[in-house]
Amino acid sequence: MKKIILSILAVGLVAQSCTKVSENVYDKYPASEFYSSPKGADIALASVYAQVGGNWDGVGYAGADNGWYDLNSFSSDEQVIPHRNTGDWQLDFAQLYQRQWLPSFGIINNTWNWLYKSVYIANLAVSQLEAAKADEAKIAEAKVLRAFFYYLLIDDFGNVPFFTDNNVTVDKLPQASRKDVYDFIVKEITENADKLSETKGGAYYGRFNKWAAYTLLAKVYLNAEVYTGTPKWAESLAACNKVAQGSFTLHPGSANATSPLGYQYYELFGDKNPTDETILSIYATVDIVSRNILTIRSLNGPNFMAVYGYSGWNGTVIPEDFYNKYADNDIRKKQFLVGSQDGGVTYTATISSLDNPGAGANEGVRDTKFVPALPMNGGGASNDFPIFRYADVMLMQAECNVRLGNAAAAKPLVDAVRQRAGLGALTSNPTLTDIYNERGFELNFEGHRRQDMIRFGTFTQARGVVPAVGDFRKLFPIPTNALNANTSLKQNPGY
């Protein structure tokens, strides 16, 4: 030990005697140089994308629970988590389906907080990249990301606080009209979409490229009448046609023994979303970045244990009337489980009660659209999540064409989606009802249903045992906590 100490002292003395010492100072790297470099710019963007994937505590677009996905999915007619008569599951999931939410709901507050945290981080990335005079494509990407978050905000909440400069306190954030924020979103996307990369997959898997930006723009225009009172069907169609230039195709749907559920179609929801059809994905690897709980949350414990080796959560079910709309020869019906299953479980299609006293343990159709991908555990699986798919774009093109009086142009688009699912072509030109139903069949469990129901005028109607509600339910309330933090905010009507 003594020799070791003496050696250390000797090295120290030698070091002190040196007069020409060159050192690299790593804590004083100028921001203008850092964010102007490709790696620095990507780090700025990565902080924003981390919010899209998210994880627990209501953070993220989809993956874990109690956040944006649950708020927008359970308030629609496609899925619900009933309170169980065993005491499992809090009431607010069922109350979302019943459209009985309140401004104090935790899921509403989580969604609001996530989106505004995301806007704040996107603002920071934009300012860092602009100050550093970074590659204009990276600045454009940050701006389109910010537009994406504001799109989700006005879709859920209407008139919302709006800011692009973080140098303002929460209590001073100005509330802008839904139309003004809509105009900002459109401007940001149209000014920046063509600056983005056209690369699909690779480094741009899970990132906004040109095609994802135009898909976002098409979505914004598709719902313009809801947001502003003025329809923009032609503009939405033009944006969809831009996406079509990206050479996307429908992924094959044919039977294949090595594919999830025996069909290539379900490869779209596996470990990596195929880039022939997928436009924008959330990358997920459980316990590392994001996660996918959608199937584990649906299946009962013994059933999931028998098939996958972990206990399922016995949560999400498919309402019987939604399940019954699918044709028996539709390969998309393969995702649902009803009747006798592995583990000695028998699922019934009928749900006797949503909240009081609640559903029985095995009541409700279960969903396995996202067949759990490895690695997985009791907290979720590693399936990536498709935010935008080309099938969605095709059905948007079809809808716009019908609304513009050109149903003949819509027919081959709807037929292609149907035929991939094993169904026949329509016998006549599609109606809006045909397109609405097809969107439900194709896009269930992917976060689009509430928006579609509002646009097609069905969201407030009665569903099963749940009565109709007032039009004010087309918007969620501004959370109580947000109103307390900024007393100048005006609550949405009806709340």
Please give the Cα distance from 122 to 287 (Å, whole number). 24
Query: Cβ atoms within 10 A of the Cβ of 47, count?
Result: 14
Burial class (CB in 10 A: 0-12, 13-18, 19+), 406: middle
| Ordered DSSP codes for 336-358 | EE-EEETTTEEEBS--S-SSSS-
* Four-residue CA torsion sign, 186, 55, 282, 419: negative
- With residue 385 as reference, give the H or E element that holds it: strand 385-389
Please give the Cα distance from 321 to 364 (Å, whole number). 11
* Global pTM value: 0.93
**pLDDT for position 28:** 59
**pLDDT for position 27:** 56
- Kindly list the distances between the CA atom of residue 191 and the CA atoms of 92, 214, 222, 243, 381, in Å, as whole numbers in the listed order: 41, 11, 19, 16, 38
* 292-329 b/e (C-beta count within 10 Å ≥ 16 → b): bbbbbbbbbbbbbbbbbebebbbbbbbbbebbeebeee
Q: What is the DSSP letter of 96?
A: H
Task: Answer yes or no: are the C-beta atoms of 359 and 352 closer than 8 Å.
Answer: yes
- Kindly list the distances between the CA atom of residue 160 and the CA atoms of 131, 153, 193, 455, in Å, as whole numbers in the listed order: 27, 7, 24, 20
Q: Is residue 38 reached through a cis peptide bond, with omega within 30 degrees of 0 on the bond before it?
A: no
Q: Identify the bridge partners of residue 289 per DSSP, sorted by sequence position.
A: 285
**Runs of H (alpha helix) within 290-406:** 301-308, 320-324, 390-403
Helices and strands (H and E) in the chain: how many:
18, 8
Q: What is the CA radius of gyration of the chain?
A: 25
Q: Which residues of the chain have pLDDT under 50?
A: 1-23, 25-26
140 token code pair: 């454009």
Task: Answer yes or no: are the C-beta atoms of 387 and 144 closer than 8 Å.
Answer: no
- Kindly list the distances between the CA atom of residue 17 and the CA atoms of 3, 10, 431, in Å, as whole numbers in the listed order: 21, 11, 87
- With residue 366 as reference, give the H or E element that holds it: strand 366-367
N residues, the chain? 495
**Runs of H (alpha helix) within 174-300:** 178-192, 210-222, 224-228, 233-244
**pLDDT for position 445:** 98
Domain with CATH 1.25.40.390 in the chain: 35-196
**pLDDT for position 33:** 86
Task: Answer yes or no: are the C-beta atoms of 196 and 211 closer than 8 Å.
Answer: no
> Phi and psi dihedrals of 408, rounded to 5?
-60, -35
Please give the Cα distance from 374 to 22 (Å, whole number). 49
Can you tell me whether residue 223 is helix, strand or coil?
Answer: coil
Please give the Cα distance from 220 to 137 (Å, whole number). 22
Say how many CA atoms lie within 13 Å of 244 toward its Cβ: 13
Task: Answer yes or no: are the C-beta atoms of 440 and 425 closer than 8 Å.
Answer: no
Can you tell me whether residue 50 is helix, strand or coil?
Answer: helix
* 86-125 b/e (C-beta count within 10 Å ≥ 16 → b): eeebebbbbbbbbbebebebebbbbbbbbbbebbbbbbeb
Q: What is the DSSP letter of 183?
A: H
- With residue 147 as reference, give the H or E element that holds it: helix 136-157
**pLDDT for position 13:** 29
> Phi and psi dihedrals of 175, rounded to 5?
-90, 125
- The CATH number, out of the four listed (1.25.40.390, 1.10.10.60, 2.60.40.10, 3.30.565.10), of the domain defined by the range 35-196: 1.25.40.390
